Amino acid sequence: MNFDFSEDQEHLRNEARRFLEARCGIGVVRGVLDDGARSHDADLWAALVEQGWTALTLPEEHGGLGMGRTDLCVLAEELGRVLAPVPFASTVYLLAEALMMAGTAAQRERLKDIAAGRCIGCIAIAEGPGEPSPARLAAEVRGGRLHGVKLPVVDGNAATLALVLARNGGQVRLHLADLTDPSVTRAPVDTLDPARDLARIAFDGTPCEPIGDEGLVDRLLDRAAVLIAFEQIGGADRCLETSVEFAKMRYAFGRPIGSQQAIKHKLADMYVNNQIARSNAYYGAWALESGSDELPSAAAAARVAACHAYWYAAREGIQTHGGIGFTWEADQHLHYRRALQLDMTIGSPRAWRDRLFSALEAQADEEL
């Protein structure tokens, strides 16, 4: 039985944690949070690239290190812990994965740019309020040119290359579009998590090329769901640690508030949620790495559990800290905001609950 990270992976984690402690203190996060003009921390991004993090899972022939998705899960968890203000998920879990899964030989050449830090990715799906649905999609490719407005796009200001969901002939599929093209107009939009980048992007006849088939977007989101679950668990565990620490130190009525059952049981519930999320995420990692047929249900379960855990931990982390936890200067609200950001970045937990049920239905049909 080997249902845990390996010794090598724990080593990777220690390295990553040390690196991020040095390079991604809370000041780095607040630097982006407090400055509306900054989409991300460029120094941190450059340092990650230098460490080979964007190259970790890329094939060696494209300048990558050829490591596994489980290794990437380790980095994801550590990035989530420190609220890293960088477009890592958009670039590595989404763009690079799409290229590796479905890119033509020419398209896959872009992987070299990702490995070298010359390319930042994003995925552009939403076009306004409500979960996106193929039937309502307006963005369209006509004569190889993309027309439409995507709102919002996570990391849309920082990105150089976008995956864009658009109508093309009778199909709704992903396309690669270069965001530096003059036909592209983009601007930041105010977001619940100002430490992360959010954009409105208008395409007005932007050259683009399709990537993968109609099923790619769902397969891609399944994969990203597992990796983002680890970011969420990293954040949720950090909230738990901080809250436990505070509950031991903070006194009321002559004793630590952590000796009161109201706080004690709240933190026990937080721990339980985080463990439930972790176990589901491990199964997701196994399904991702092993190419299991169960990936859709495993990924959805990982995401649903992780969204719940992070939201609860962030929300009750503030409550545990009391008044001080509600101030701008305290770090609790950064997790509250990030929990919401990660909840919504690739489809809300609401949508993923439904997706989980559908995946379990499909599995049940298989079993019969």
Partner 1 sequence: MDFSDTPEEAAYRARAAAFLDAHAADLPRPTGGEMDRLAVARRWQAIKADHGYACITWPREWGGAGGTAMEQVIFRQEEARRGVPIAFFGIGLGLCLPTVIRYAPAEQRERFVGPAIRGEQVWCQLFSEPAAGSDLAGVRTRAVRDGDDWILNGQKLWTSGAHYSDYGLLIARTDPDLPKHKGLTMFWVDLKAPGIEIRPIHQMSGGVEFNEVFFNDVRISDAQRLGEVGEGWKVAIFALMNERVEGGKDRGLPAARIIAIARATPAGDATLADDGAFRAAFADGYVRMRGVSLTRYRTLTAMSRGQTPGPEASIGKLVMASELQELSRRLIEAQGAYGLIDDEALSMADGTVHHDLLHAPGIRIAGGTDEILRNIIAERVLGLPAEPRVDKDIPFSQAPKGI
Stretch that binds partner 1, among 40-48, 57-65, 201-209, 315-323 (CB under 8 A): 315-323
Q: Which does 93 bind (CB under 5 to 8 A by kind): its own copies, partner 1, none?
A: none
CB distance 44 to 22 below 8 Å:
no
CB atoms under 10 Å from CB of 137, counted, come to 16
| Piece of the chain touching partner 1 by CB under 8 A; list 29-37, 49-57, 162-170, 240-248 | 240-248
Q: Angle at the Cα of 87 (from 109 to 177), degrees rounded to 5?
A: 45
Residue 218 or 361: which CB sits closer to partner 1?
361
Contact partner, 183, from its own copies, partner 1, none, Cβ < 5-8 Å per class: none
Omega within 30 of 0 (cis) for the link into 152: yes
Nearer to partner 1, 110 or 335 (CB): 335
Q: Which of 58, 201, 227, 277 binds partner 1 (CB under 8 A)?
A: 277
- Tell me which of 201, 224, 247, 295 binds partner 1, using CB under 8 A: 247
Check residue 149 for interaction with partner 1 (CB under 8 A): no
Q: Which of 65, 137, 189, 202 binds partner 1 (CB under 8 A)?
A: 189
Contact 226, 305 (CB under 8 A): no
Q: Are strands 171-178 and 184-188 parallel, antiparallel or unpaired?
A: unpaired
Stretch that binds partner 1, among 81-89, 109-117, 207-215, 322-330 (CB under 8 A): 322-330
**CB of 113 vs partner 1, minimal distance in Å:** 26
| Coil/strand/helix, residue 138 | coil
Under the binding rule (CB under 8 A), the answer on residue 336 touching partner 1 is yes
Q: Do 157 and 32 contact (CB within 8 A), yes or no?
A: no
Determine contact, residues 190/139, Cβ cutoff 8 Å.
no
- Smallest distance from its own copies to CB 248, Å: 17
Residue (11 or 265) nearer to its own copies, CB: 265
Token pair in block for residue 192: 């619940």
Cβ nearer to its own copies, comparing 248 with 265:
265
Q: How many residues does the chain have?
A: 368
350 binds partner 1 (CB under 8 A): yes
Q: Which among 18, 74, 17, 22 is positioned nearest to 44, based on CA atoms?
A: 22
**Judged by CB under 8 A, does residue 19 bind partner 1?**
no
For residues 81 and 335, which CB has a smaller minimum distance to partner 1 in the complex? 335
The distance of closest approach from Cβ of residue 297 to its own copies in the complex, given in angstroms and rounded to an integer, is 25
126 binds partner 1 (CB under 8 A): yes
Binder to partner 1 among 75, 146, 280, 295 (CB under 8 A)? Answer: 280
Say if residues 208 and 177 touch (Cβ distance below 8 Å). yes
At 45 the three-state DSSP class reads: helix
First to last CA, the chain: 28
Residue 122 to residues 33, 220, 306, 323, 324: CA-CA distances in angstroms? 20, 13, 22, 37, 36
Q: What are phi and psi of 208, to 5 degrees?
A: -155, 165
Report, in Å, the least distance between residue 315 CB and its own copies: 17
What distance in Å separates the CA atoms of residue 117 and residue 124, rounded to the nearest whole number?
Answer: 20
Cross-strand bridge partners of residue 179: none
At closest approach, how far in Å is the CB of 301 from partner 1?
A: 5
66: left (phi over 0), alpha (psi -120 to 50) or beta: left
Question: How near is the Cβ of 196 to partner 1 at its closest, in Å?
Answer: 9
In the bound complex, what is the minimum distance in angstroms from residue 260's beta carbon to its own copies? 6
Question: Per CB under 8 A, does 357 bind partner 1?
Answer: yes
Under the criterion CB under 8 A, does residue 27 sit at the interface with partner 1?
A: no
| 48, 82, 226, 305: residue in contact with partner 1 (rule CB under 8 A) | 305
For its own copies, the closer of residues 9 and 260 by Cβ is: 260
283 binds, among its own copies, partner 1, none (CB under 5 to 8 A by kind): partner 1
Footprint on this chain of its own copies (rule: CB under 8 A): 260-262, 265
State the Cα–Cα distance between residues 14 and 7, nearest whole angstrom: 11
- CA dist 242 and 82 (Å) reads 12
